[in-house]
Amino acid sequence: MPAPKTFGQQLGRRSWAEPWKIKMVEPLFMTDRPTRERTRREAGYNTFLLRSRDVYIDLLTDSGTNAMSDRQWAGMMTGDEAYAGSENFYHLEEAVQRHYGFMHLVPTHQGRGAEHLISRTVIRPGQYVPGNMYFTTTRLHQEMAGGIFEDVIVDIAHDPQDRGDFKGNIDLAKLDALIARVGASQIAYISLAATVNMAGGQPVSMANARAVRAWCDAHNVRLFLDATRAVENAFFIQEREPGYADKRVADILHEFCSYMDGAWMSAKKDSLVNIGGWVAVNEWALFEELRNLVVVFEGLHTYGGLAGRDMEAMAIGIAESVQDEYIRSRIGQVRYLGMLLEEWGIPMVEPVGGHAIFLDARRFYPHLTQDRFPAQTLAAELYLDSGIRAMERGIVSAGRDPKTGDHHRPKLELTRLAIPRRVYTQAHMDVVAESVKAVFDRRAEVRGLEMVYEPTYLRFFQARFEPR
């Protein structure tokens, strides 16, 4: 047997490790294959309908699944559970002002609460909302407020094999074409997400943010950021964009946000907490509207549906999330898994993005048409093989066109392996990689699924399937 080598040695460099150690552990349980055959059938072949106790390694989402630090847990104990004016609200406000740079903050229970508020206050029915690829809840709230989503992301975002550095960028020619067609007054705002979840966690460059800002100024259109994974986006700018290698991620994030009129946030991702969100803007009049609406749907404007302790954990999590060594190791772990899979020829979105590996189910199962739900099928197969839980991000997630009632047919038919922050180790990544490989090796035997129950809203959460 040749001498074993660490991963770093295999790559001809020194290995690195996470900048934290583990203080508390939570046992995992492995089920056997006959049990998983049953549990996946009972869950209608939909990983959202599995019980977590039947899951081994849970890569359903990086949302709310983060491990908090000892400081965050200590912060939880300082929760000021006053109905109004909680001290923790002011800590959160200060953290958002310092790191994201927005003046006025409205907390919400999570991201979609914030999407609801901003969509309702800024969209007039019939207006367009151009965005760099849709996100499920974002688009639904825009549509429920009467808006019409228009995809203005660069074309390469739809090509899993294009290795562009900034596949999340907005294509300004698409914005020009839209404005020529409908006029500036018919554009509610530009909806910019960084990174872009549905494109594979792909980043937006600083140059693009700056150019979109200039476009917005020229046409008097507002620009709002989905800041859910903007810290991860800042890491890619530091790594890839000329002039940013020597800047701190914290400073890059601040500059990026300075081009925005405001932002909404699902803090359950970047901010290293299990629940929480916010919307923040610079305009006072808009803030007043948001602050007024939050009391109808979420709670008073100093808690927005959260406990004081949740806001404290978020305030501390924000400061931890912008530390360079933390973010490098977070994205490094995603890349480690990506490197193994790439080496073995597994089809996926490249380059690997910030929060997840996105397997390319079209190339994984070339014999299945999109009507056989290849990405849904792949998630069900992975679960059967090892109890690993992934998420469909293809035709099921895309839903139906509200006008025609037909399926949206996204070019990207992906199965996402999202990596929770500070939760799993490199050994878990090895187990995941080997399971993906085992499923890939058996790909020819797979026949696809049929949808037998379809809910009205965000159907992917509760839809049920049967094997073909």
Q: Which residues are known catalytic residues? A: 83, 135-136, 226, 269, 393, 460
Does residue 137 belong to the site contacting ligand P70 (CB under 6 A)? yes
- Cβ(70)–Cβ(286) below 8 Å: no
Does residue 121 belong to the site contacting ligand P70 (CB under 6 A)? no
Characterize the bridge pairing of strands 223-226 and 190-193: parallel
Characterize the bridge pairing of strands 128-131 and 104-108: unpaired
By CB under 6 A, the residues from 167 to 196 that bind ligand P70 are 193
By CB under 6 A, the residues from 42 to 61 that bind ligand P70 are 61
Min dist. Cβ of residue 279 to ligand P70 (A): 11
Does residue 197 belong to the site contacting ligand P70 (CB under 6 A)? yes
Q: Return the range that interacts with ligand P70 (CB under 6 A); candidates 75-83, 131-139, 207-215, 297-305.
A: 131-139
Does residue 119 belong to the site contacting ligand P70 (CB under 6 A)? no
By CB under 6 A, the residues from 224 to 253 that bind ligand P70 are 226, 228
Among residues 274, 318, 311, the alpha carbon closest in space to that of 86 is found at 311
Min dist. Cβ of residue 220 to ligand P70 (A): 26
- Whether the bond between 195 and the residue before it is cis, its omega within 30 degrees of 0, is yes
Phi and psi at residue 278, in whole multiples of 5°?
-165, 165
Min dist. Cβ of residue 84 to ligand P70 (A): 24
Nearer of residues 93 and 226 to ligand P70, judged by Cβ: 226
Does residue 277 belong to the site contacting ligand P70 (CB under 6 A)? yes
Min dist. Cβ of residue 137 to ligand P70 (A): 5
Q: Applying CB under 6 A, what is the total number of residues that bind ligand P70?
A: 16
Q: Return the range that interacts with ligand P70 (CB under 6 A); candidates 132-140, 173-181, 322-330, 339-347.
A: 132-140
Within 13 Å, how many C-alpha atoms sit on residue 65's CB side?
Answer: 15
Nearer of residues 137 and 329 to ligand P70, judged by Cβ: 137
Does residue 312 belong to the site contacting ligand P70 (CB under 6 A)? no
Does residue 65 belong to the site contacting ligand P70 (CB under 6 A)? no
Q: Return the range that interacts with ligand P70 (CB under 6 A); candidates 86-94, 136-144, 172-180, 183-191.
A: 136-144
Q: Which residues pair with 392 in a beta bridge?
A: 415
Min dist. Cβ of residue 441 to ligand P70 (A): 28
Residues 89 and 107: their CA atoms lie apart, in Å, by 8
Min dist. Cβ of residue 203 to ligand P70 (A): 13
By CB under 6 A, the residues from 370 to 409 that bind ligand P70 are none
Nearer of residues 63 and 69 to ligand P70, judged by Cβ: 63
Does residue 136 belong to the site contacting ligand P70 (CB under 6 A)? yes
Min dist. Cβ of residue 136 to ligand P70 (A): 5
Q: What is the 3-state secondary structure (H, E, C) of 112-149?
A: HHHHHHHHHHHCCCCCEEEECCCCHHHHHHHHHCCCEE
Q: What is the 3-state secondary structure (H, E, C) of 297-364?
A: HCCCCCCCCCCHHHHHHHHHHHHHHCCHHHHHHHHHHHHHHHHHHHHCCCCECCCCCCCEEEEEHHHH
- Cβ(106)–Cβ(166) below 8 Å: no
* Token pair of 363 as six digits: 């190339």
* Token pair of 70 as six digits: 């000892």
By three-state DSSP, how is residue 366 classified?
A: coil
Among 46, 72, 86, 110, binds ligand P70 (CB under 6 A): 110
Residue of closest CB approach to ligand P70 = 111
Q: What angle is formed at CA 358 by the lines to CA 151 and CA 16, rounded to 5 degrees?
A: 125
Among 102, 135, 278, 303, binds ligand P70 (CB under 6 A): 135
By CB under 6 A, the residues from 314 to 373 that bind ligand P70 are none
* Token pair of 255 as six digits: 């500059």
The secondary structure of residue 213, as a DSSP letter, is H
Which spans of this chain sit near ligand P70 (rule: CB under 6 A)? 61, 63, 110-112, 135-138, 193, 197, 226, 228, 266, 268, 277
